[in-house]
């Protein structure tokens, strides 16, 4: 026999197309079996109780990055969060901060993608491609491990206090993506590319309060990338001051 537990879900509702309406919390009561995720309950609410509720979802296995939101004050993916994990029978859901709300739990991620594109997130090569793979040692490959794991869900972007006060700050995900390429032994972007992030909108904007690390559902540590990029910039500066070429 599976026993169910009664839960109260309070979901912040709003609609960009109805600017005159103030956002409000709508309450839904559902019975939940053990092991159910927040996303599974959201789907049930939309299916069985309220078809007007909007939220994004796809893979339901924490790899596609669609369903980032604030769950009882904590940023996470709805699909990998167990309803029972809070030790409370009330679950409060709010949209990801730092982005404009389109409707209910759906936010406009355009600024997030704009920052992503700014760091030129692709492998830059100048040497002609060999007829086969570009060799890379296991150790070289392992340097980018954690940054490769990023699923671009924007949990970190939503958690970042710097973006909250300066929307032009690149943010943790974009900087982690940049470091993923800087650390890639195959990448040949010019050294001065780092200058594009050498300011308060880039690596120096970070408060290093590690909210991004806390929020990341895939154990990526964006702050490591920011510290790494800062070190690279300092080294470069030192070399210049000492009159060294490289």
Partner 1 sequence: MTGLSHDVLIVGGGLAGLRAAVGLCDKYDVALLSKVHPIRSHSIAAQGGINAALANNPDSRDDTWEKHAFDTIKGSDYLADQDAVEVMCREAPGIVYEMEHWGCPFSRFPDGSIAQRPFGGAGYPRTCYSTDLTGHVLLNTLYERAVMKGVRVYPEWYVTALATHDGVCHGVAAFDLMNGEIVPITAKATVFATGGYGRVYFYSTNALINTGSGIGIAYKAGVPLKDMEFVQFHPTGLIGTNILMTEACRGEGGYLVNNRDERFMERYAPKAMELAPRDIVSRSIQTEINEGRGFDHPLGTYIKLDLTHLGEKKILAKLPGIRKICIDFIGIDPIREPIPIMPCQHYSMGGIDTNAKTATEVRGFFAAGECACVSVHGGNRLGGNSLLETIVFGKMAAGAVDEYLSRETVSPKDEIVLRAARETDGKMTALTAGGKEKTFALHGELARTMSTNVGIFRERAEMEKALEEIGRIGERYRDIGVSSPDRHMNYELMNAVELEYMIEVAHTIAHGALLREESRGAHSRRDFPKRDDETWLRHTIARMNGDGSVGISFRDVTITRYQPMERVY
What element of type H or E holds 26?
A: strand 24-32
- For partner 1, the binding residue among 14, 65, 68, 111 (CB under 8 A) is 65
| CA–CA dist 242, 119 (Å, integer) | 28
7-28 burial string, b = 16+ CB within 10 Å, else e? bebbbbbbeeeeeeeeeeeeeb
* Residue closest to 175 by CA, chosen among 197, 148, 142, 145: 197
Confirm or reject binding of residue 45 to partner 1 (CB under 8 A): no
Q: Smallest gap, in angstroms, from Cβ of residue 10 to partner 1?
A: 20
Pick between residue 81 and residue 98 the one whose CB is nearest to partner 1: 81
Using rule CB under 8 A, residue 17 touches partner 1: yes
Closest CA to 222 of 182, 151, 173, 189: 173
Q: Which of 38, 70, 75, 144 binds partner 1 (CB under 8 A)?
A: 144
Binding mask 158-197 for partner 1 (x = CB under 8 A): -----------------------x--x-xx----------
Interface stretch with partner 1, choices 92-100, 111-119, 197-205, 237-245 (CB under 8 A):
111-119
The residues near 64 (Cβ < 8 Å, ≥ 6 apart) are 58, 151
Vertex 169, ends 166 and 175: CA angle to 5°?
155
The answer to whether 106 and 95 have CB atoms below 8 angstroms apart is: yes
57 is a site residue for partner 1 (CB under 8 A): yes
Q: Is 149 in the site for partner 1 (CB under 8 A)?
A: yes
* Least distance CB 122 / partner 1 (angstroms): 4
Q: Could you tell me if 83 and 36 are in contact, meaning their C-beta atoms sit under 8 angstroms apart?
A: yes
Q: How far is the CB of 91 from partner 1 (least distance, A)?
A: 17
Q: Which is nearer to partner 1, 26 or 57 (CB)?
A: 57
Residues that bind partner 1 (CB under 8 A): 2, 15, 17, 35, 37, 43, 46-48, 50-52, 54-66, 80, 102-104, 106, 108-109, 113, 116-117, 120-123, 125, 129, 131-138, 140-141, 144, 148-149, 151-152, 181, 184, 186-187, 218-219
């Amino acid at each position: 026999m599976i026993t169910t537990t009664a839960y109260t879900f309070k979901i912040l509702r709003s609609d960009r197309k109805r600017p005159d309406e103030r956002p409000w919390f709508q309450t839904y009561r559902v019975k939940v079996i053990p092991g159910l995720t927040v996303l599974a309950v959201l789907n049930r609410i939309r299916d069985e109780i309220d078809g007007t509720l909007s939220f994004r979802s796809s893979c339901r296995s924490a790899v596609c990055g669609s369903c980032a939101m604030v769950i009882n004050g904590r940023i996470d993916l709805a699909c990998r969060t167990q309803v029972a994990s809070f030790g409370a029978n009330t679950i409060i859901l709010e949209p990801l901060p730092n982005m404009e709300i389109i409707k209910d739990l759906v936010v406009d991620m355009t600024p997030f993608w704009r920052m992503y594109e700014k760091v030129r997130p692709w492998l830059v090569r100048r040497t002609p491609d060999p007829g086969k793979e570009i060799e890379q040692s296991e150790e070289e490959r392992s340097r980018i491990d954690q940054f490769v794991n990023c699923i671009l869900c924007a949990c970190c972007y939503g958690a970042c206090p710097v973006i909250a006060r300066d929307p032009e700050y690149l943010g943790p995900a974009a900087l982690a993506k940049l470091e993923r390429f800087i650390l890639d032994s195959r990448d040949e972007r010019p050294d001065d590319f780092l200058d594009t992030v050498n300011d308060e909108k880039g690596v120096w904007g970070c408060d290093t309060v590690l909210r991004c690390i806390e929020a990341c559902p895939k154990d990526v540590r964006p702050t490591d990338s920011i510290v790494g990029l800062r070190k690279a910039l300092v080294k470069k500066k030192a070399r210049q001051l000492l009159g060294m070429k490289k």
